[in-house]
Amino acid sequence: MAVVPQRKLAAIMFTDIVGYTAMMSQDEEKALELLKKNRALLKPVIEQFRGEWLKEMGDGTLSSFASAVEAVNCALEIQHILQSDPNLSLRIGIHIGDVVFEDGDVFGDGVNVASRIEPLAEPGSVCVSEQVYEAIRNKRGIEATLLGEKKLKGVDHPIKVYAVSEIRAPLVEQVRATIRPLGRRWWTWTGTAAGVAIIAVVVWWLGFGKEALPEPLLGPKSVAVLPFANLSDSKEDEYFSDGVTDDIITHLTKIGDLKVISRTSAMLYKDSPKSLRIIANELGVPNILEGTVRRAGDKVRITGQLIDARTDQHLWAETYDRDLTDIFLIQSDVARNIAAALETMLSPEERQRIEQLPTESTTAYDLYLRAYEYDQKGWERKTLEIASDLYKKAVEIDPRFAQAYARLGRIHSYMYWRGYDRTNQRLATAREAVDQALSIKPDDPVVRMGNGYYYYYGLRDHTRALEQFFFAQRLEPGNGLHAENIAYVQRRLGRFEEALANQKTAQEYDPRSARLILELGGTYRILRLDDLAEQAYDRAIVLAPDYVAPYLAKAWLQVDISGDTESARQVLAEGMRLADPLHLMWTLVEFDIEDDRYDDALERLTAIPEDVREDPVVFMPKEFYVGWILKLMGEPAEADLHFEKARALLEEKVRESPNHERIHAALGKVYAHLGLTNEAIREGRKAVDSLPVSMDATAGPDYVQHLAEIYTIVGEYEAAIDLLEKLVKMPAGARVSDLRFHRVWDPLREHSRFQQLVAENP
């Protein structure tokens, strides 16, 4: 019986040893030794990048990869390793094409083109075809140079060929630097395989292989909805096509058997040149829904197609030419058809939920979509105020628009929590909006989330917030956002293991969210799992190199691990190159103070345009830092002038927001430096009372630590150590590395109780 040839599409890598033929004619024994060394080096690296070793052809090797990204990263890593070996140099060529397996042999377009591209590479370099270039051109850490169109033997048309190289990633280099001291003898071929495997694992986690890491599959009934393309005449209608995408996602999450990739990860693929197969692999789902939206006056055309990205099979496709007033019917119909295509039966309750209209007013809906666009842009006060105004206009047009009320209430709650407005009026406005939403649609998941956010952000009633988020999850089982919200509340309640489990679930639904991975790292850090925390921060940096927060988190973790700022400063330097440097500069000021680099700290403060350092825990005027530095420099009179300026600003803030724990803590420190002992302790206690550990196991310890700092500054050492002894036993409390590192604890260093505390808690 004849054996049917097997065929598959793959990224093919062809390698060849430079100068091997000449070496064979001169020293056959040395050439054969080099061949063994080449095989021992390449095989473990190829395995670590999930490649398949196909065969050897003389001094050439042939291997295949599931993605071009993995093939290129593997090739670059091989060439990087060989920089340490002057006796072995390779040329590497890569192409995406068909591979045919027949009678124990391998051939096909992919093999032929890769082998023809390889000779075009310079010794020690990598060349790729245009198909490979298209898959890697947006990858961080890789750059490509066009060599031109090349006529290759056995190929009937010219092919564009690119030389690719890597931009060294500092985080990977740090790890490699720790491995290299094993010595040059390590690179003899007999020991190479083990060493290469170590490096490849490190690279796989920290560097180039990350973009190609497959997330765990959510199962056959999972789907990612890519941003629908805006085909309207006006680019300003982008918010409308994005809004249609969001609402289709929302409809699908209401179907119990479906698992849906979240908006955050899906939106990263807007206008992406990546193939659907690569996108599906990166998101961990088999099915992709894509489409277009064209709006013209009161008409709308929406096209959609559901594709199994593994087989490129079209599971469903439809074009809707309707009146704009039918937009909600279209979204419901899409959800029903997706469920049918994935062989999912809808319960009567699910069918009712996806067919429920959010509003009967297309004008109100349009305002809602515009508001949601701003709502998703970030947490700056101006952006939130614009979103708030648009939501308010939407409910003025349709007073029965429950979801608009709920999102309006969430914004007011957040503005209270963030400290933009800590007045009772702001909280009352949030409650009023949420109550309106509940009175209209008490069983809507967006409404229940709005109520949960009110308890979470506004009242910090975490038990009731948790109830609301669980309620929303039951209504929308396919929405990973609910697991995320539940995790954050559980973390506040001190239920860290439960929080971690829900964060991992949320990450499956939102695998490309740098913020989610950053938060996961935060939970690992609370649990003292520092290695996992560092891996999470590195992953967040790879996913969003312009995102400031992971650099800050990793820098402080480095201080915890090493006890000094050298490695932390390297992390911040990389962040300042790629991200907004402002918040990083505040941290560098702190490091300068700890390292006695007072002039550097003052110079940085001059360059920082903000008058106040503000984040969820710290609210501190620039003048405070100037005063502290001058005090440490032995200029108390000059320091007090700056402390007084900080005092005036903070006292005004307290009058505006009397319930703001961050401001009370900051004012307490300023009073302490001014020698106002009673006032300082009073403000520190107000901060602790506003957010006690019993209410918030995550942030509460921060304010206990602020109070301990105040006690230390005013000379109440016993009271300070009493608090520190409690803090080091709290999961989210102070670490002994904090006590060893921070200059604020210097007055305690000769105290026997402090010394014992440090000694007993290594």
B/e letters for 160-186, b = 16+ CB within 10 Å, e = fewer, are ebbbbebeebebbeebbeeeeeeeeee
Q: How far apart are CA 198 and CA 191, in angstroms?
A: 12
Q: Say whether 5 sits in a helix, a strand or coil.
A: coil
Q: How far apart are CA 248 and CA 456, in angstroms?
A: 27
Q: How many CB atoms lie within 10 A of CB 190?
A: 10
Q: Across residues 43-66, what is the average pLDDT?
A: 85
Q: How many CB atoms lie within 10 A of CB 224?
A: 28
Q: What is the pLDDT of residue 217?
A: 59
Scan for tokens 């029903």, then name that residue.
336
pLDDT bin (cut points 50, 70, 90) of residue 67 is confident
Q: What is the pLDDT of residue 762?
A: 61
Q: What is the pLDDT of residue 93?
A: 93
Q: What is the pLDDT of residue 201?
A: 40
Residue predicted with more confidence, 67 or 117 = 117
Q: What is the pLDDT of residues 85-117, one digit of tens each?
A: 778 889 999 998 878 877 667 878 788 888 889
DSSP collapsed to 3 states, 632-663: HCCCHHHHHHHHHHHHHHHHHHHHHCCCCHHH
Residue 206 has pLDDT above 50, yes or no: no
Q: What is the pLDDT of residue 507?
A: 92
Closest by alpha carbon to 711, among 702, 723, 701? Answer: 723
Sign of the Cα torsion 648, 653, 659, 662 reads negative
Instruction: Tell me if 565 sits within 8 A of 737, measured CB to CB.
Output: no
Instruction: Tell me if 575 sits within 8 A of 588, measured CB to CB.
Output: no
Any idea which of 222-236, 398-412, 538-552 has the lowest mean pLDDT?
222-236
Q: Beta strands 619-621 and 222-225: pairing type? A: unpaired
pLDDT bin (cut points 50, 70, 90) of residue 191 is very low
Given this structure, which CATH class describes domain 364-530?
mainly alpha
Q: Say whether 153 sits in a helix, a strand or coil.
A: coil
Residue predicted with more confidence, 466 or 612 = 466
User: What kind of fold does domain 611-760 have according to CATH?
Assistant: 1.25.40
Q: Which pair of structure tokens corresponds to residue 18? A: 């430079």
What Rg do the C-alpha atoms of the chain give, in angstroms? Answer: 30
Q: How far apart are CA 753 and CA 585, in angstroms?
A: 35
Dihedral (C-alpha) 66, 71, 73, 75: value to the nearest 10 degrees? 160
Q: Across residues 428-446, what is the average pLDDT?
A: 97
Closest by alpha carbon to 675, among 627, 743, 720, 723? Answer: 627
Q: What are phi and psi of 288, to 5 degrees?
A: -125, 130
Whole-number percent of the chain with pLDDT over 90? 54
Residue 197 has pLDDT above 50, yes or no: no
Q: How far apart are CA 442 and CA 663, in angstroms?
A: 37
Q: How far apart are CA 628 and CA 613, in angstroms?
A: 15
Q: Which pair of structure tokens corresponds to residue 376? A: 């998703």
pLDDT bin (cut points 50, 70, 90) of residue 77 is confident
Q: How far apart are CA 240 and CA 302, in angstroms?
A: 12
Q: Which pair of structure tokens corresponds to residue 491? A: 């973390």
Q: Which pair of structure tokens corresponds to residue 243? A: 């809004």
Query: For residue 332, what are the CA distances in angstroms to 306, 349, 443, 562?
Result: 15, 14, 18, 55
Q: How far apart are CA 568 and CA 561, in angstroms?
A: 10
pLDDT bin (cut points 50, 70, 90) of residue 736 is confident
Any idea which of 68-72, 322-326, 561-565 has the lowest mean pLDDT?
561-565
Instruction: Tell me if 511 sits within 8 A of 214, measured CB to CB.
Output: no
Q: Which pair of structure tokens corresponds to residue 235? A: 């680019």
Please determine whether the domains at 364-530 and 611-760 fall in the same fold group of CATH: yes
Q: Across residues 288-312, what is the average pLDDT?
A: 89
Q: Which pair of structure tokens corresponds to residue 531? A: 């290695």
Q: What is the pLDDT of residue 66?
A: 80
B/e letters for 600-618, b = 16+ CB within 10 Å, e = fewer, are bbbebbeebeeebbbeeee
Helix (H) or strand (E) segment spanning residue 165:
strand 159-166
Q: What is the pLDDT of residues 471-518, one digit of tens each?
A: 999 999 989 999 999 999 999 999 999 999 999 999 999 999 999 999
Q: Say whether 51 sits in a helix, a strand or coil.
A: coil
Whole-number percent of the chain with pLDDT over 70? 92
Q: Say whether 295 sits in a helix, a strand or coil.
A: strand
∠ CA 691-697-699, rounded to 5°: 55
Q: What is the pLDDT of residue 578?
A: 84
Closest by alpha carbon to 462, among 426, 437, 498? Answer: 498
Query: For residue 133, what are the CA distances in angstroms to 46, 128, 342, 371, 543?
Result: 20, 7, 33, 38, 20
Query: For residue 416, what are the CA distances in angstroms to 196, 424, 570?
Result: 53, 9, 36
Q: What is the pLDDT of residue 188?
A: 35
Identify the architecture of domain 224-357 in CATH.
3-Layer(aba) Sandwich (3.40)
Q: What is the pLDDT of residues 37-49, one digit of tens each?
A: 888 888 888 887 8
Q: How far apart are CA 227 and CA 344, in angstroms?
A: 23
User: What kind of fold does domain 6-212 have according to CATH?
Assistant: Alpha-Beta Plaits (3.30.70)
Q: What's the full length of the chain, in residues?
A: 762
Q: Which pair of structure tokens corresponds to residue 354? A: 């996806």
Q: How far apart are CA 312 and CA 523, in angstroms?
A: 39
Helix (H) or strand (E) segment spanning residue 535:
helix 530-543
Query: For residue 502, what are the CA distances in angstroms to 5, 22, 266, 488, 497?
Result: 46, 60, 20, 9, 9
Q: How far apart are CA 669 and CA 564, in angstroms?
A: 24
**What residues pair up with 620 in beta bridges, in sequence order?**
613
Q: How far apart are CA 358 and CA 372, in angstroms?
A: 14
Q: Say whether 383 sits in a helix, a strand or coil.
A: helix
Domain locations in the chain as residue ranges = 6-212, 224-357, 364-530, 611-760
Closest by alpha carbon to 594, among 623, 619, 562? Answer: 562
- Terminal-residue alpha carbon distance, the chain: 70
Residue 413 has pLDDT above 70, yes or no: yes
Q: 46: Cβ–Cβ under 8 A, 6 or more apart, which residues?
A: 13, 52, 53, 63, 74
Question: Which of 4-13, 60-69, 631-640, 648-657 has the highest average model confidence (pLDDT)?
Answer: 631-640
Secondary structure (DSSP) of 434-502: HHHHHHH-TT-HHHHHHHHHIIIIII--HHHHHHHHHHHHHH-TTBHHHHHHHHHHHHHTT-HHHHHHH
Q: What is the pLDDT of residue 3?
A: 55
pLDDT bin (cut points 50, 70, 90) of residue 167 is low
Residue 579 has pLDDT above 90, yes or no: no
Q: What is the pLDDT of residue 1?
A: 45
Q: What is the pLDDT of residues 687-705, one digit of tens each?
A: 999 999 999 999 999 999 9
| Chain mean pLDDT for the chain | 87
Q: Say whether 718 sits in a helix, a strand or coil.
A: helix
